[in-house]
Structure 1
Amino acid sequence: MNSAPAPAPVSAIPGPLIVQSDRTVLLEVAHPLAEDARHDLAVFAELERAPEHIHTYRITRLGLWNARAAGHAADDMMATLEKYSKFPIPQSVSVDIAETVARYGRLVIERDNEGVLTLTATDSAVLAEIARAKKIANLLFEKRGDNSFVMQPWARGELKQELLKLGWPAEDLAGYTPGTPHEIALDHSGGFALREYQDHAVANFFEHGSGVVVLPCGAGKTLVGAGAMATSKTTTLILVTNIVSARQWRAELLKRTTLTEDDIGEYSGQLKEIKPVTIATYQILTARRKGEYAHLALLDALDWGLVIYDEVHLLPAPVFKLTADLQARRRLGLTATLVREDGREGDVFSLIGPKRFDAPWKEIEAQGFISPASCFEVRIDLPHQERLEYAASADDARYRLAASAPAKLDVVRQLVAKHEGERILIIGQYLDQIDELAEALDAPQLTGATSVDDRERLYQEFRDGTTKILVVSKVANFSVDLPEATVAIQVSGSYGSRQEEAQRLGRLLRPKESGLPANFYTLVTRDTVDQDFAQNRQRFLAEQGYSYTILDAHSLDAAAA
């Protein structure tokens, strides 16, 4: 009797990638090496589409330069493609990757012995090319030899922006002001220490001077900031998304460092304290009075040696202009995703700095530092009359009609009953929808109109279990620490925002004392723009290695079981 042939070893199976000459890369999701390939590919390629079976990545110039700045060579990237590709790599792609990566570092910003800023090129032809560009010529002062220009002393940030637009990213080696010394150390009492990846993030940041650290929500980005402060031991300005975030930063710094209450100031709409460590909101920094930025003096109020940008992917556009003037100060950006909905990733790269460290979500999850999560999309049908109203509506009204469909309320009730006793976040975009949900579930609600004191009270009641269900608007997306949340039900969102998906999933990823798994539900109205936008948001889930299950609202209980 013949036995069945032994399965081919994994190494003998053709790889899961198809690399195409237009710089797109197709990933076969069901392939046994798909997870490994996704992990390695994400270093330098961006996920564009993520349907069920084949995911499409694109190799972009900015992705290659970010990878190069984080220490990955062109040969490393080519080795990844060759290792996992089913077919030979198109010669044009190999050449493009090598030549694009080689552009990084061909121009270097330095400071000479007299402290004068210079722009130096590895060859005179590159320097001649960029010097002819009108916007760049105005930023250069005088030629110095064949391969160097003296820069305008104020032009460090703007020059990097303009060079990136021309496709010549400059490596900034001009150094930083040390700032006013201020003693800061991590408090290791109770056995506290930075995790290995947090230590690596701090070390990589300081090796290169400035840049962005990418870590999942719940992986301790605040502690990376604290580690950077303890290394630099200097006055520090921390910019955050809102007052709640500012106060969470303050509490974490008091808990994990040797800083005292007298060392830390809050600069917001409520308080105007300037101390050796000052935590300010983006909102106050962009506030205008009579057409002028009213609080711009904060940027020079002390001789800051370190500026930390929390949630750098949400940095308001006006702050980029202000940051262009902060290039002499060390800058650390913290984020869960480099994706910006306004497409200004290039400004993050040139003004905050390139990516210096990242750790994929699934990798941190495998180490036990963030909770595993199951993701579900629950599809709901519009009743016939509402379908007719949707069809007759203008384009700009259709999303709201679909996203706030009354049928979603019954599904929320079912999911709340299914997870009875767990701590549940219900997230909506529209205030009237939030009102309706809160009333139907007899649960407190939290929106932009909720006072800061009430927000902190509700968050604390949720943390300690007094409140089990909290209905929130997008104000809860950012920098809110709710470690015991195990269920999030996303009823509506900001169109197709991938960064919002990152923040909302992140609310669930803190490790749980309860040991319960995390479940993330998105309610989507079938065959509408709501479903179209959901596909874009789900690209983020796929990018991080999460799969999602589609459930039908009519058979929710059976399908979920």
Structure 2
Amino acid sequence: MKQSMDRPMIIQNDQTLLLEVNHPKFKKARKEISSFAELIKSPEYFHTYRITPITLWNAAANGYSWQQVIGILDQYSKLQFPTFIKDEIRIYMERYGILSFKREGNQIHCKSKDPKVFDKLLSYASLQRYFKERLNEYTVVIAEQDRGFLKQELIKLGYPVQDLAGYQEGEFLSLSLLSRTKTGASFQLRDYQRKAIDIFYEKGAVSGGSGVIVLPCGSGKTVVGIGIMELLQAETLILTTNTSSVRQWIHELIDKTSLTEEMVGEYSGQKKEVKPVTVATYQILTYRSRDELEFEHMKLFQSRNWGLIIYDEVHLLPAPVFRYTANIQAKRRLGLTATLVREDGKEDEVFSLIGPKKYEVPWLQMEDRGWIAKAKCTDIQIPLPKKWEKQYIEASKKQKYRIAATNPLKIKVLKKLIKQHQDDPILIIGQYLNQLEEIAKELGAPLITGQVKQQERDQIYKAFRTGKIKILVVSKVANFAIDLPDAKVAIQVSGTFGSRQEEAQRLGRILRPKEGENHAYFYSLITQQTVDQDYALRRQLFLLEQGYEYDIQHYAL
């Protein structure tokens, strides 16, 4: 077997890739393999990546061929890797587009480049109800209402569909972007925002109009959505994570476009407005008074003739909204997110029902251009107090994490960091309410949790934005879509176990570009040699994949 030890990677039989961290070609290799593999482990000397069908299909949707992927692996692999891995890469990547949906008159035809695929699929009893009539060896008729459900079934069998059946245009809506916002600021699309818009829209072709745009927090994903709305000129439904985010969307829409307040509605727990542009929360759509009842607010999907549906923070899309989205495949669908990582493993649902990843810009590339703040990430390792050690050893795994995450020494370290950054706006973020309440009391700082009413939250956020308060303590309700542009320091005292998406979103709270020195500081307080440390390593995977490095510091008693 040929060897080339000047290369940084070992390819294993289970399709995982071991990438040597200290190798001079590490950064270049990491950048290239990240387009078709995901980081799953990051020990000190070797990072482990995994190739999956979804990572390969997203690469295929972004224009990569199986030959290119194999070429990249050959370029960086120390050893020749098995032929069967090359064959699997080829088979999976060739499957993207082997099946397609196309509209012919009033019918949707499912077409296959290989008639043997239809012979195979028609043998599945679970699929037979979707196939209405086989016109020839390459074409089967399907029902309009089955378009999404069939895509879900087929991707589970390893056949992602390229949906070219087109879209309903929706009700016309006149909308234009302003060159100067209504608050008086100069405004224009950045080059990467324009590129994302154009790639999604594809000049109105049926191959465009559905998919996911992946951009870092603070880089203006909302503006990308608004830019697509301008191209489509159609009534739009926007779904997002919470009421604060709803109101931020509404503010941006009215501030940066020709839309007026009368044309934009809030559909939340507090208001039920349905207007030509309506912004709703996922929570209200999935609300029902009893489990056995229908989701009464799902009717919002049909309440107007929408031409576009925007799924903000699409990585958080709840299961009931996935199910309903399967019914509306004739609507253009845009997913926006900073990371396509889903902790529930439903990336295939996003791929089949919203669309493939259409465009992505690496975080550090945005940082280099000054579009987001330069972030310094630091892990501060803290010992567990002796008096807690016995309790920790005897606890269940879940209780172990709570004990380690709420280590009281973290408050001492927290105070030192606040003193170090006394002139900077600081967010303190955590998982456990008792811990956050104690911190807020110690610091005399306001605390925002899910129990704080929306009106009070808005007042606190406003006070933080205007500099009336410098320190804000927040629970996980502030993980997503909260616009606090001046926040410069984030201190994470506890997290949601090993959530990679949460780590990315929490860093994202401080990434909006800053006046003057464009720097931000992200600290994680970790109890060393405990599950707190294990989960922290898991949470950091996405950011490590993006090229961020964590400086390790140790707190001595």
TM-score, structure 1 length as denominator? Answer: 0.94
- Corresponding position of 2:267: 267
1:29 aligns with 2:21: yes
The CA deviation at 1:319 is: 0.8
SS of residue in 2 equivalent to 1:433? helix
SS of residue in 2 equivalent to 1:376? strand
Distance 2:324 2:201 in 1: 23
Distance 1:406 1:134 in 2: 58
- How many residues in Structure 1 have an aligned counterpart in Structure 2? 543
- Corresponding position of 2:205: none
- Corresponding position of 1:558: none
The CA deviation at 1:14 is: 2.4
Distance 2:147 2:514 in 1: 45
The structure 1 segments of at least 4 consecutive aligned residues displaced by more than 6 Å after TM superposition are none
The CA deviation at 1:16 is: 2.3
Amino acid at match of 2:75: K
1:60-139 equivalences under 5 Å are 60-113=52-105, 115-139=106-130
- Corresponding position of 2:323: 321
- Corresponding position of 1:7: none
Choose which of 129, 138, 152 in structure 2 pairs with 1:147.
138
Distance 1:400 1:426 in 2: 18
Distance 1:145 1:445 in 2: 65
1:199 aligns with 2:199: no
Distance 1:459 1:553 in 2: 32
SS of residue in 2 equivalent to 1:504? helix
Amino acid at match of 1:170: V
1:14 aligns with 2:6: yes
TM-score, structure 2 length as denominator? Answer: 0.95
1:389-420: CA deviation from partner (whole Å, max 9, x where unpaired): 11122233211111111111111111111111
Distance 1:72 1:306 in 2: 28
The CA deviation at 1:520 is: 0.8
Amino acid at match of 2:285: L
- Corresponding position of 1:5: none
Distance 1:487 1:122 in 2: 54
Amino acid at match of 1:275: K
Choose which of 329, 333, 336 in structure 1 pairs with 2:335.
333
1:354-403: CA deviation from partner (whole Å, max 9, x where unpaired): 11111111111111101111111111111122111111222332111111
Distance 1:280 1:270 in 2: 11
Answer whether contact 1:306 1:331 (CA < 8 A) is retained.
yes
Distance 1:313 1:242 in 2: 14
Amino acid at match of 1:31: H
SS of residue in 2 equivalent to 1:347? helix
1:116-162: CA deviation from partner (whole Å, max 9, x where unpaired): 11211112110111121122112111211112111122111110010
Answer whether contact 1:309 1:332 (CA < 8 A) is retained.
yes
1:356-435 equivalences under 5 Å are 356-435=358-437
The CA deviation at 1:312 is: 0.3
1:463-502 equivalences under 5 Å are 463-502=465-504
1:243-274: CA deviation from partner (whole Å, max 9, x where unpaired): 00000011111122211111100011111111
Distance 1:56 1:345 in 2: 20
Distance 2:5 2:515 in 1: 42
Distance 2:262 2:516 in 1: 36
Answer whether contact 1:365 1:372 (CA < 8 A) is retained.
yes
Distance 1:227 1:100 in 2: 34
1:323-371: CA deviation from partner (whole Å, max 9, x where unpaired): 1111010000000111111111110010111111111111111111011
- Corresponding position of 2:353: 351
The CA deviation at 1:13 is: 8.9
1:81-132: CA deviation from partner (whole Å, max 9, x where unpaired): 233333334322222212210011111111112x211211112110111121
1:43-93: CA deviation from partner (whole Å, max 9, x where unpaired): 110101111221111111110001111222222222322333333343222
Distance 1:429 1:420 in 2: 24
Distance 2:511 2:26 in 1: 23
Answer whether contact 2:429 2:475 (CA < 8 A) is retained.
yes
Distance 1:527 1:495 in 2: 15
SS of residue in 2 equivalent to 1:288? coil
Amino acid at match of 2:117: V
1:216-365 equivalences under 5 Å are 216-290=216-290, 291-365=293-367
SS of residue in 1 equivalent to 2:381? strand
SS of residue in 1 equivalent to 2:326? helix
Choose which of 40, 55, 62 in structure 2 pairs with 1:48.
40
Answer whether contact 1:286 1:293 (CA < 8 A) is retained.
yes
- Corresponding position of 2:548: 546
Amino acid at match of 1:179: G
Distance 1:170 1:421 in 2: 53
- Corresponding position of 1:174: 165
Answer whether contact 2:212 2:336 (CA < 8 A) is retained.
yes
1:457-516: CA deviation from partner (whole Å, max 9, x where unpaired): 111211221111000000110101111111111001111100100100111111011425
Distance 1:202 1:74 in 2: 27
Choose which of 147, 151, 161 in structure 2 pairs with 1:156.
147
The CA deviation at 1:17 is: 2.4
SS of residue in 2 equivalent to 1:249? helix
1:189-240: CA deviation from partner (whole Å, max 9, x where unpaired): 3652211111111111112220111111011110110111011110000000
Greater CA deviation, 474-483 or 395-404? 395-404
Which segments of 5 or more consecutive residues in structure 1 lack a partner in the other structure? 1-11, 556-561
Answer whether contact 2:370 2:518 (CA < 8 A) is retained.
no
Which segments of 5 or more consecutive residues in structure 2 lack a partner in the other structure? 203-207
Distance 1:487 1:28 in 2: 32
Answer whether contact 2:374 2:518 (CA < 8 A) is retained.
no
Distance 2:91 2:301 in 1: 39
Distance 2:44 2:512 in 1: 28
SS of residue in 1 equivalent to 2:14? coil
Distance 2:302 2:486 in 1: 40
Amino acid at match of 2:218: G
Answer whether contact 1:484 1:514 (CA < 8 A) is retained.
no
Answer whether contact 1:486 1:516 (CA < 8 A) is retained.
no
Answer whether contact 1:199 1:224 (CA < 8 A) is retained.
yes
Identical pairs, percent: 50
Answer whether contact 2:498 2:536 (CA < 8 A) is retained.
yes
Answer whether contact 2:8 2:20 (CA < 8 A) is retained.
yes
1:438-468: CA deviation from partner (whole Å, max 9, x where unpaired): 0111111111111112111111211221111
1:209 aligns with 2:200: no
- Shift of the 28–128 alpha-carbon distance from structure 1 to 2, 3 Å rule, reads same
Greater CA deviation, 456-465 or 544-553? 456-465
RMSD, matched Cα:
1.5
